Structures are given as structure tokens and as C-alpha cells.
């Protein structure tokens, strides 16, 4: 696949970056486009694409996709959270990827729909909020004091690393895979048929309403409330 490169500088006007749509069906081969965009502390991904993000000593923002699809991307920055969406609906294209380097501590990574967010390196942050609303995916490595992971729908969150406290919430059939995230304390809840895999050393508060299951590693003190056929199950190494 041949990828051409262009560099753009985008002016910051009222916190909104907008690229007008040339169409809703992808045309041509993918190209690579780079923008000057800094200060990103979080992502709200609202389109069906892939975001690859990392903390770095430099700020970079690169998009790979078909030209008219890239032209249809709308970027809105509010409170240092970057929302990525299409200005108009796109029905058929060859995929779109965003490669982001930020100098800031990341505090929010959320998918709305079927998109995906991946961290390329370990994210160092005091507090990080991970979320999926739909069938999307978030997969990160982190060192954080407090981690929040929430799913509404059938999506998945995968998180590994270390932290002090994890809040895990599932509404629906989603999966939170945090058995490689070592935390001291955790509060986990499931409403529906989802599942959570955890790794907790000291305290675990587990609440299930439905047929979901909470699996945990470690030997924490466990308090649980189950309404339905769900279970809280210890996994022994």
C-alpha cells in the first residue's frame, strides 16, 4: 500500500477543528496526514476507527485513511478532551487510524460505538477513566492511582499495570479484563450478563444484578451482593 505524506498546520478557532466532507464513500488509496495538535488529555472516539495513543516528549497527531474520509473528520477540543467524529456519516471506506502522541497525563479514554483505542506504551496518570458505550474496545497499560472502567453494551475493556483502586462497572454483556491490573482495592458491579476479571490484594466489593460473573485473583476481603444467577468466583493461580 502506497502512503503519501502531507503536513498541515491547523489554526485553533473556538476550540473546534472541522474538515468539510467531500463525500460519504471512501475514494482512492489511504494517505497519511499529520497535524499540529497538542494539549490532549483525553479522547472521546465517536466513529468506527482505531486510535493508537502514547505519552511522549513531543506532541504528534497523524491520520491514515482515504483522503475524502479524512476530510470528513471533525475534531472538537473541550477541556483538553479531544472528540473525534465524522461530520457526515460514512458508509463505506478502507478504515481510518489515528496515531497520537501527547505530552500530557491522560485522564480519559472513551469509545462511543464500535471504535477502538489502544495504548502503545504504559500510561502514567493519577486518575484515568476508561469507557465503552456500545461494542467498541479500549485496551491500555497504565500506572495510576485510581482507574475507572465502565461499559454500557457489549464492548470490552482490557487494562493491565498497577493501581491503588479500580472501579469496574458493566451494564449489559460487556467484558472487563483487568486481571493483569494489580490493585489494592476494587469496587465492581455488573447489571446484566457481562463478566469482569480482576486482580485485588486487599478489599473487593462485588455487586451483581443478573447473570454476570466476577472473577478475581488474590486474597482480598470480599463483600458481595448477588441478585440473580451471577457469581463471584476466586481464581487460584
Residue 13: CATH number of its domain: 2.160.20.120
Percent of the chain topping pLDDT 90: 87
pLDDT in tens, 178-215: 999 999 999 999 999 999 999 999 999 999 999 999 99
- Give yes or no: residues 157 and 176 share one domain: yes
What is the grid cell recorded at 232?
A: 463471584
Residue 17 has pLDDT above 60, yes or no: no
**Contact (CB, 8 A) for 158 and 152:** no
Q: What is the pLDDT of residues 112-163, one digit of tens each?
A: 999 999 999 999 999 999 999 999 999 999 999 999 999 999 999 999 999 9
Instruction: Examine the fold and report which residue of 104, 132, 156 is the final residue of a domain before the chain moves on.
Output: 104
Looking at the fold, whether 127 and 57 belong to one and the same domain comes out as no
pLDDT in tens, 96-126: 999 999 999 999 999 999 999 999 999 999 9
Q: Tell whether 218 and 119 lie within a shared domain.
A: yes
- Residues of the domain holding 178: 113-237
Q: Residue 222: is its pLDDT beyond 50? A: yes
Note the pLDDT of residue 24: 78
**Rounded Cα distance, 161 and 179, in Å:** 9
Q: Are residues 125 and 232 in the same domain?
A: yes
Domain count for the chain: 2
Residues 131 and 196 in one domain: yes
Residues 174 and 203 in one domain: yes
Q: Are 73 and 51 in contact (CB under 8 A)?
A: no
pTM equals 0.90
Question: Would you say residue 10 has pLDDT above 60?
Answer: no
Task: Tell me which DSSP letter residue 211 carries.
Answer: S
Amino acid at each position: 500500500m502506497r502512503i503519501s505524506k502531507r503536513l498541515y498546520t491547523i489554526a485553533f478557532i473556538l476550540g473546534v477543528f472541522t474538515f468539510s466532507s467531500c463525500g460519504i464513500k471512501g475514494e482512492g488509496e489511504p494517505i497519511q496526514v499529520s497535524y499540529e495538535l497538542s494539549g490532549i488529555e483525553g479522547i472521546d472516539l465517536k466513529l468506527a476507527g482505531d486510535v493508537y495513543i502514547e505519552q511522549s516528549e513531543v506532541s504528534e497527531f497523524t491520520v491514515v485513511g482515504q483522503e475524502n474520509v479524512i476530510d470528513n473528520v471533525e475534531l472538537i477540543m473541550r477541556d483538553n478532551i479531544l472528540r473525534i467524529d465524522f461530520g457526515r456519516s460514512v458508509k463505506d471506506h478502507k478504515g481510518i487510524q489515528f496515531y497520537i502522541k501527547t505530552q500530557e497525563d491522560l485522564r480519559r479514554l472513551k469509545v462511543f460505538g464500535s471504535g477502538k483505542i489502544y495504548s502503545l506504551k504504559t500510561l502514567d496518570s493519577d486518575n484515568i477513566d476508561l469507557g465503552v458505550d456500545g461494542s467498541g474496545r479500549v485496551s491500555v497499560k497504565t500506572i495510576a492511582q485510581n482507574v475507572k472502567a465502565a461499559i454500557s453494551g457489549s464492548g470490552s475493556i482490557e487494562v493491565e499495570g498497577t493501581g491503588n483502586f479500580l472501579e469496574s462497572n458493566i451494564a449489559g454483556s460487556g467484558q472487563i479484563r483487568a486481571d493483569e491490573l494489580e490493585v489494592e482495592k476494587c469496587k465492581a458491579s455488573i447489571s446484566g450478563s457481562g463478566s469482569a476479571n480482576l486482580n485485588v490484594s486487599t478489599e473487593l466489593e462485588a455487586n451483581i444484578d443478573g447473570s454476570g460473573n466476577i472473577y478475581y485473583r488474590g486474597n482480598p476481603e470480599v463483600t458481595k451482593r448477588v441478585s440473580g444467577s451471577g457469581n463471584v468466583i476466586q481464581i487460584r493461580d
